[in-house]
Amino acid sequence: MNKIKNNKLKNKLKEKEISFGSWITTGHTNIAEIMAQSGFEWLTIDMEHSVITLDIAQQLIQIIEAYDVVPLVRVGEKNPNIIKRVMDAGAYGVIVPMVNTKKDAELAVNSVKYPPIGTRGVGLARAQGYGLGFEEYNKCLNEKSIVIVQIEHIEAVNNLEKILSVEGVDGCIIGPYDLSGSLGHPGEFNNPKVIAALKKVEKTCAKMKTPLGMHVIPPDYKKVIEYTSRGYTFLAFSLDTLFLASSCKEQLNKLKKGVK
């Protein structure tokens, strides 16, 4: 049965404590099991840039939760039906892409929460114990569920105060590639415009006392530490395929150099 009432990440976000998670883009339970045993506090199942379907997402959620790790889902769009269904599957919360306005943020919250806070319809799926645990789920959902808005467009940066003022938004996470792309400089993180946009987000989150996150793509822990020193607390460390690819390449190169 869903254990959202024990959502440890929710408390960390409230206290603005540092937490480390990662991204799952491969729809196989072995991947979720390996990463859940690695020490991450939360894992995000990516349904935006992967071929993971809803039924596979539920299986991954079950594995992640079984290891006492918080399961989140990055949904593919600001779609109330998709958000409702991943929450019904047992996700503790969602990361919603391209939240560019206050209206977008309100839609995200409404899609996760039950009335009177939100407008999410009631189903009797895995999250509700297939009907046997609805009352327990209903009591804790609105308090324990998580809504993270993804800031990945300059429009969102300019509207950030209004976005973060929406009740029910627990924090934001920057999508660095799309944000830089919206400025006409995709992947150019040292571009002055991109740097200025990031600084504006950092300043606004500090002012609003809102947890700020970053998805640090390279599997290099030193880069994650750099962001903690700048006030980021919700940190996604690389992703499944990149951990595998970089480790294979690094170790194979060392092997070839070691063989005379």
Tens digits of per-residue pLDDT, 217-249?
999 999 999 999 999 999 999 999 999 999 999
Distance separating alpha carbons of residues 87 and 96, to the nearest angstrom: 13
pLDDT of 175-205, one tens digit each?
Answer: 999 999 999 999 999 999 999 999 999 999 9
Task: Read off the pLDDT band of 99 (50, 70, 90).
Answer: very high
List the beta strands (DSSP E) in 11-164.
19-24, 42-46, 70-74, 93-96, 146-151
Average of pLDDT values for 81-98?
98
Position 147 pLDDT exceeds 90:
yes
Cis ω on the peptide bond leading into residue 219 (within 30° of 0)? no
CA distances from 98 to 11, 57, 101, 136, 228 (A): 25, 21, 9, 32, 24
Task: Read off the pLDDT band of 3 (50, 70, 90).
Answer: confident
Distance separating alpha carbons of residues 27 and 36, to the nearest angstrom: 14
The owner of tokens 């306005």 is 101
Task: Read off the pLDDT band of 1 (50, 70, 90).
Answer: low
Task: Read off the pLDDT band of 146 (50, 70, 90).
Answer: very high
Contact between 127 and 2 (Cβ < 8 Å): yes
- Give the type of residue at 242: L
Q: What is the pLDDT of residue 260?
A: 66
Nearest CA among 33, 53, 28, 51 for reference residue 43: 33
**φ, ψ of residue 150 in degrees (nearest 5):** -95, 125
Which string of b and e fits 34-62 if b means at least 16 CB within 10 Å?
A: ebbeeebbbbbbbbbebebeeebbbbbbb
Distance separating alpha carbons of residues 113 and 122, to the nearest angstrom: 10
- The answer to whether residue 28 is catalytic is no
Q: What is the pLDDT of residue 134?
A: 96
Position 2 pLDDT exceeds 80:
no
Rg from Cα positions in the chain? 18
**Domains of the chain, each with CATH number or no CATH:** 4-150+214-253 (3.20.20.60)
Q: What is the pLDDT of residue 111?
A: 98
Q: What is the mean pLDDT of the chain?
A: 97
The catalytic residue among 49, 153, 185, 215 is: 49
pLDDT of 25-65, one tens digit each?
Answer: 999 999 999 999 999 999 999 999 999 999 999 999 999 99
